[in-house]
Structure 1
Amino acid sequence: MALLQTKPLMLPHAQERRRHQRVRVNLLGRYMLADRREYPCQVINMSPGGMALIAPVIGNIGERVIAYVDHLGRLEGTIARHLENGFAMTISATARKRDKLAAQLTWLANRSILNLPEDRRHGRFVPKIVGARLVLPNGTSVGVRIIDISLSGAGIATEFRPEIGSHVTLGRIPGRVVRHLDEGFAIEFTRLQHPDSVEENAAAQ
């Protein structure tokens, strides 16, 4: 993934603070630093002009970041300061993009979606290809049927019932068993998937 070299359109920090109130959130995602390696993250507060992330790897002040955040999509910016367990970053965006982000944050708050269980935050759907390969905790690969799938998990139809908490892999997506169903079990993915690739990765043989 190429890093954009265009000069970001940013409001001065003080002005951004006055114009945009930060909202406490709990959104999962992933981010990429300048070395182009990706890491999982959790956004804990944000405004249309910036956000704070819990992150396993902290870059340098001023380093470019590209983040993919649940419900909000692709966001770009630079690291503004380090936090105890992550960092705060600016969000580079046009005025139109900032307005859209403000509307999305308001929608999330009004819908109380941030307080819903993980598997209800993402719309589930039946994929075009329902046949898939599942790697069980003992390393055995078996054929299964995908009942439904979302960006954060999937329902699997199979006669096998791994213990809850067991680590499995659906296609190319690692996850863990979170509950048993009448015809199989539910998986929570280790990290949030991208909407453009979740079906392809799940159905990968």
Structure 2
Amino acid sequence: MNLNPKPFQKSVERRRHQRVEVSLLGRYMLENHQEYPCVTTDMSPGGLACVAPARGAVGERVVVYLDQIGRVEGKIARHTDRGFALALNMPYAKREKIANQLTWLVNRDILSLPEDRRYERIVPLRPHAILTMEGEAERVVKLIDVSMSGAAVSTALKPYIGTKVALGQTHGSVIRLFDGGFAVAFDQMLSPERFDENIKL
């Protein structure tokens, strides 16, 4: 009798690597050592897709640092309209850890679980900042919320993804547009000592 376990294994593999929609801020480094901000659109233990200002070459090795996930690496599998999809290259234990992290993130959103303090998003008590952007006059904008790695800004401006901006003295790049504003990834993480409701960018 010929027992072939492959169909079952493939089914398990597909389930294990099912992608979930998750928006995580991060930074990535291409092979030329240039770094850029990014934000994921979906992710699984085997791959991710992200909005990115520089798409690199298909097959190029990329190192990514993501909020709440940490360091991952892989090769660019394909380009997308707004960035690229990455095939992750990690040992089994790391894949299992990411699977658990993604499960927690999805359940947190469904069950309204509290966020890890390290990656919390806060609404500043002084929710206004001076926005500086090339080609535009300085203007005061409202901060929707702030994390240690980025901020969401309320404004009618619609800059291109990757546009360099400054919120007060904090520099970063536009990584996502939404109705009524855009999201910024900071060039450098805010220090924990600065990160509370009294923060002033």
Verify: 1:74 aligned to 2:53, yes or no.
no
Is residue 2:53 matched to residue 1:56? yes
Selected match of 2:190 from 186, 189, 198: 198
Tell me the CA shift for residue 95 of structure 1: 1.0
CA shift at 1:66, angstroms?
Answer: 0.9
- The letter of the residue matching 1:30 is R
Extract unaligned runs of 5+ from structure 1: 1-12, 126-133, 140-147, 155-163, 177-187
TM-score if structure 1 supplies the norm length? 0.56
Aligned-pair distance for 1:110?
Answer: 0.3
TM-score (norm. length: structure 2): 0.57
Percentage of identical aligned residues? 43
1:103 and 2:100 are equivalent in the alignment: yes
Decide whether the 8 Å contact of 1:29 with 1:192 is kept in 2.
Answer: no
Which residue is equivalent to 2:161?
none
When residues 193 and 48 of structure 1 are mapped into structure 2, their CA distance, relative to the original with a 3 A threshold, is farther
Residue 151 of structure 1 aligns with an amino acid whose one-letter code is S
- Larger RCO of the pair (alpha carbons < 8 Å, separation 6+): 2
Q: What RMSD over aligned residues (CA atoms) do the two structures have, in Å?
A: 4.3
Q: Determine if contact 1:122/1:150 at 8 Å carries over to the other structure.
A: yes
- Show the counterpart of 2:81: 84
1:37 to 34, 39, 64: 34
| Count of aligned positions | 151
Q: Distance in 1 between matches of 2:85 and 2:11?
A: 15
- 1:24 aligns to what? 21
Partner of 1:144: none
How far 1:31 sits from its partner (Å)? 1.3
